[in-house]
Amino acid sequence: MTAGCFVKHFETPERATAAVRHHTWIAEHASPLRQPAVTAVGSTSVTFERVEGRPARPEDMPLLAELLGNAHGAAWTSDLRSVSLNTPHHFQDGTTFSDYLGPREAALQRRLEQGYLPDKVALHAMLTLLEKTAEGPTAFYKDSNPRNFLIAKTGAVCTIDTDDLTLAPLAYDLAKLITTLIATYGPLPEGAISEALTAYNRAAACHDVRLGTTGRERLDDFVALHAVLTAPYAGRNGYRHGWMPGHHRPRGSA
């Protein structure tokens, strides 16, 4: 699966250091996610082994949902059991995960300013939805879009871009995968989302039965949040399939 290396550059030394710490944290606490090995660290760069594979497609969703459920269950069991969703968490090794609410409240405010929400009433509705979802066991968010999974011909999955992690509820990252698969490939087959949620819950419950209880309504709430949060990327990064429910075209757009 590998050949050569890939160098990722960061704006500051602090961002590069955080990337390595987050990579190390995933390897220790969320080992179901296979990552490219770090081969060198510079002041503002990190070198990874190069991994060959294709981006995720809709038919991969059950496999990836199971993978995420296993990773979130493992992380909760080993390190996140007592962590609050709504307080930035500082780990003993210096790793910091942003809280769930703060960064997303700020992002939703920016969506109003950018024109992706039509008015303050819509912003209030999204902030209320965000607060509603800020409960339950703590997992992590790693931006599970299709390009951040590389799938080899053998079926092996490698997870990339794990350098910017935040705290998040269980299944929040699964919802990001669903949202971005739709934006990339169009509507999913009937029953695909329910099948993915079942796979996710089953995998998470293997670590603790309390982790396998995410319902469809809660998942749909996460999807609605992601639809607004990812709205600025429509037409970019492979997101070419229109405006999903929850999106509003920005002022001045065609």
Q: How confident is residue 96, by pLDDT bands cut at 50, 70 and 90?
A: confident
Please indicate, yes or no, if residue 205 is contained in any of the structural domains. yes
User: Would 1 be classed as within a structural domain?
Assistant: no
Tell me, what's the pLDDT at 3? 55
Model pTM score = 0.91
- pLDDT at res. 92: 73
Predicted confidence band at 247 (pLDDT cuts at 50, 70, 90)? Answer: very low
- Give Cα separations from 180 to 34, 127, 244 (angstroms): 21, 21, 10
Residue 193 lies inside a defined structural domain of this protein: yes
Q: Cβ-count burial of 186 within 10 angstroms (0-12 exposed, 13-18 middle, 19+ buried)?
A: exposed
The total of structural domains in the chain comes to: 1
Report the Cα 94 to chain-centroid distance in Å: 22
Distance CA 159, CA 117 (A): 32
Instruction: Give the domain CATH number at 58.
Output: 3.90.1200
Lowest-confidence region among 92-106, 183-197, 198-212: 92-106
* Strand ranges (E), the chain: 2-9, 38-41, 45-51, 54-55, 89-90, 96-97, 138-141, 149-151, 157-159, 166-169
Q: What is the residue range of 88's domain? A: 53-233
C-alpha dist (Å) from residue 38 to 28, 30, 51, 166, 206: 14, 16, 12, 21, 30
- Could you say which DSSP state residue 167 is in? E
Cβ neighbours of residue 191 under 8 Å, at least 6 residues apart? none
Taking residues 84-96, what's their average pLDDT? Answer: 82
| Model confidence at 66: pLDDT above 90 | yes
Express each pLDDT in 152-193 by its tens digit: 999 999 999 988 899 999 999 999 999 999 999 999 999 999
Does residue 29 fall inside a structural domain? no
Residues 28, 23: Cα–Cα separation, whole Å: 9
Rounded Cα distance between 32 and 206, Å, is: 13
Predicted pLDDT of residue 242: 58
